[in-house]
Structures are given as structure tokens and as C-alpha cells.
Amino acid sequence: MRLLIVSHTPHYYREGEIVGWGATVREIDHLATLFESVVHIAPLHHEPAPASAMAYESGRVRLHEVRPAGGERLRDKLSIFLRYPG
């Protein structure tokens, strides 16, 4: 059985490796022990990763990256609809 996760958890590149928020990454690594594969759809940021970010340990997890969208202003939030089809 496969699992699809769609989240807003930010991911980053660190030394050529994709890393994400540590708490979420650990939880998804644990879920990967229960499924054949896990696809995580989440935004990939092109800025330095915070210290709390870590790489997935499970080889069963695959990140499908989307461009970050949204923000604090109403205009930023409405821009999500322009990116939705992508």
C-alpha cells in the first residue's frame, strides 16, 4: 500500500540533499515503515535550511516538490490560486 501526504512543510537543499523540518521528517520516516512507499508533496525553498532541518532516512520516501505560495498579505494568499494548476 502507498501513502500520499500533501503538506506545507518547507523543504530545502543542504549540501546537495533535500532536507525538511525535523519533526515532520521523523514522523514520515516512521510512517514509511508501514507502507510500501510514501510520496510527500511539499514546497521546496531555495534559501539556506534552518538548523532544525534533516534528511529523510527511509528510502521509501519521495518528495514531490511544489513552488512555495502564499504569505501574510491577502494578495499573497490569492496567488495560491494562480499556482494551483501547476
pLDDT tens sequence across 29-83: 999 999 999 999 999 999 999 999 999 999 999 999 888 777 778 877 777 677 6
The pTM assigned to this predicted structure is 0.80
Q: What is the DSSP letter of 72?
A: S
Rounded CA-CA distance 44/52 in Å is 15
- Rounded to whole angstroms, the Cα distance separating 50 from 54 reads 9
Torsion of CA 62, 76, 80, 24, to 10 degrees: 30
φ, ψ of residue 30 in degrees (nearest 5): -65, -45
